[in-house]
Structures are given as structure tokens and as C-alpha cells.
Copies of this chain bind each other. A is one copy, B any other.
Amino acid sequence: MARKGESVTMADVGARAGVTARTVSNVLSGHTSVRPETRDRVLRAVDDLGYRMNTSARSLRTGRTGTITLAIPDLMIDYFTDLARRIMTEAERHDWTVVIQQTGARRENEIAILSGARRQHSDGLIFQPHALGPGDERYLTGNDRLVILGERIFRGPVDHVTMANTEAAQLATQYLVDRGHRRIAAIGANPRVATTSAASLRLEAFRDTLAKNDLSVPAEYIVTAEEWHLRDGAAGMARLLGLPRPPDAVFCFNDTMAFGALHALAARGVRAPDDVAVIGFDNVPMAEFTTPPLTTIEPGTAQVAKQAVDLLAARVAGRGTPPTEVFTDCSLVVRKSA
């Protein structure tokens, strides 16, 4: 934070300690061995002068910034907050700091991220696309050091950390069927989004599972939600309750919408799970604390975070591993809402 022109340099520190910048650098980075006595003198000089390293200079020299970028749709969605938090923790182990970029799930912003316009000064990128999908491989150009989160959307040579969207959505849907529900709706469809997006995959698995159980889904049971926020869940549930023949169970494609749905139910005096069962997806911290506590899918968020950061670290280290696709485990967490 030193102002330009008034900054203390390594040379200044060296001058005070009676050594050159070279030795100061060695002391501070700890790579080479330095005489303990010299070391002490240097550290004292650092302290006296209030020296702070200029990381731009270091980065320019080394080609490393010590920062990675996490590009996600939106911190209004609990899952992404949870993910960001976990990724920050994992990144700490690699001495990385994390810059979070919100794309708003908008295609133009996602392209901007990949083009580097909104992601400078960063050693690598962990990116959860939403609008981008197959056919957009051209935007990958120049992005080595990239890990894609979500489904394997690109054929190209990129690391993917893949959540078992299909399997998990089947699990959730089948659970509702097994509990005896027959009028099952879903909130979170988004027709304007790639077929590889979570929205499309979960919807497809939902439909398939119901079909497999010889259950039909009226069109009005598939509720579109553009943003997957609290209000989308509430609005979706309100719409379902307004139907002549409301569902007896609802699969919300994320927990945040499920919270909204639960609220809409309670506001109308409809009981969950007795009148309408609700199941979510994500198992975010809040899911345990709603009324009733939310039955949901645990998608392996901790693994996603760890794998993503480790994969990126391998890329940055330049290990010549071929692009990998990693899968995380999912499971059903039964609580009270369904």
C-alpha cells in the first residue's frame, strides 16, 4: 500500500543491513541459506523500515502471481458461497489467494472470463460455466491452467471436476416416488441454457426417473427458474400451489430455491412434508436448520473444492498430466422435508 515514489525497496533494506538486495531477497524467500547473523540484521532492517515487498515486481520476474480466479454465477446461491469458502481454504494450502468473479450466469460474462478480460493477474482459473456449453470450445484458446466445474461441457483438452448431476437427480426423484408420491413437480428448469448445464441434466434425470416409474409429468409441473435464487423457489412453489391439482412433492434443483419453496408453503399454511414434500440439492449448511430441516442431495462439495484446486495446482506446476475428468460422490441426505 506504499504510495508510488515513497516505497521502500529491497535495496534500501539491504543498505541498512549492510548487504545487497540479493541477500535480502534470499532471506525473505528463504530459498538459499543465509548466515543467521545476516538474516537477523536483514529482518531487523525490514522491520525498522516497514518494508513490504512489491508483489508486482516479484510476479513480473517470476511469472507467478500467487492468485487464482474462481468464476461462479452468483454468491446469492448458497452453494456457490459454500464452494467459494471451501476453495479458499484449499487454496490456502498452496499459498494462493482467491479472486471471486461473478458471471451472473450470463454468456457474455463467461466469455469475458475465458478471454482473460476479467481475469488478469492470476495463475489459473476455476470456472463453473452456466451459459457456455458444447460448441463453445473456441473460447478455451489460450487457457491452459483451467479447471472446469460442473458437467464435462467441453470435448476439448481441459480438466473437469464433474458432479454426478444425473445420478443425484435420479436419487432424489426416486426417493420421492418410493415415499409414495405420485404428483411430483420440479422447480429450476431453464430452457435457455446449455444441455450440459445442471438445469438441463437434473431435469432430464427427473423426467427419465418418473417415466421409468410409469409416472407422467404434466407440463405445468415443470417450473422454470432463471436465477435459482430464494425468490425463484418461492415464486415457483406459489405457482404450483395455484394449480387446480397441485403436486404432492417438489424437487427443487438447488437448496436455495428449496428454502424459498418451504417459505411459500408455510406462508400459505401448507404443511411440509405432510401436504407437499420438498427435496433440495446441494446440502448447504443452512439445509440442516430450516423448518422442517431439508432433505437434499449431498453432491460432494468438499471433494469438488479439493479436486479443483489440486488439479489446478498440477497444471500450474506444469506436470504434463493429460486433461482429467474427476467425479465426486453424491448421496441422499434424509431429513424432515421429504
Contact = CB atoms under 8 A, between A and B. Distances in A.
Contacts of A205: none
Contacts of A259: 286, 289
Contact of A121 (B2, B59, B142): B59
A250 to B, nearest CB: 15
A232 to B, nearest CB: 11
Nearest to A50: B142
A326 interface: no
B121 A67 contact: yes
A56 B50 contact: no
Given A75-B84, A116-B52, A230 B1 contact: no
A262 B120 CA distance: 44
Given A1-B125, A53-B120, A99-B98, A60 B60 contact: yes
Contact of A124 (B1, B101, B116): B1
Interface in A79-136: 81, 84-85, 88, 97-102, 116, 118, 120-125
Contact of A291 (B53, B76, B263): B263
B1 A144 contact: yes
A274 to B, nearest CB: 14
Interface residues of A, number: 60
Contact of A55 (B88, B120, B145): B120
A121 B64 CA distance: 12
Nearest to A123: B1
Interface string A53-84: 11111011011011100000001100001001
Nearest to A84: B75
Given A4-B63, A81-B75, A102-B88, A263 B293 contact: yes
A143 interface: yes
A91 to B, nearest CB: 11
Interface string A280-297: 000001101111110000
23 contacts: A1-B125, A1-B143, A1-B146, A2-B142, A3-B63, A50-B141, A52-B142, A56-B57, A56-B59, A66-B120, A66-B121, A75-B84, A76-B85, A81-B81, A88-B100, A98-B99, A230-B286, A259-B289, A262-B289, A263-B288, A263-B289, A263-B293, A291-B291
Interface of A: 1-4, 50, 52-57, 59-60, 62-63, 65-67, 75-76, 81, 84-85, 88, 97-102, 116, 118, 120-125, 141-146, 230, 234, 259-260, 262-263, 266, 285-286, 288-293, 318
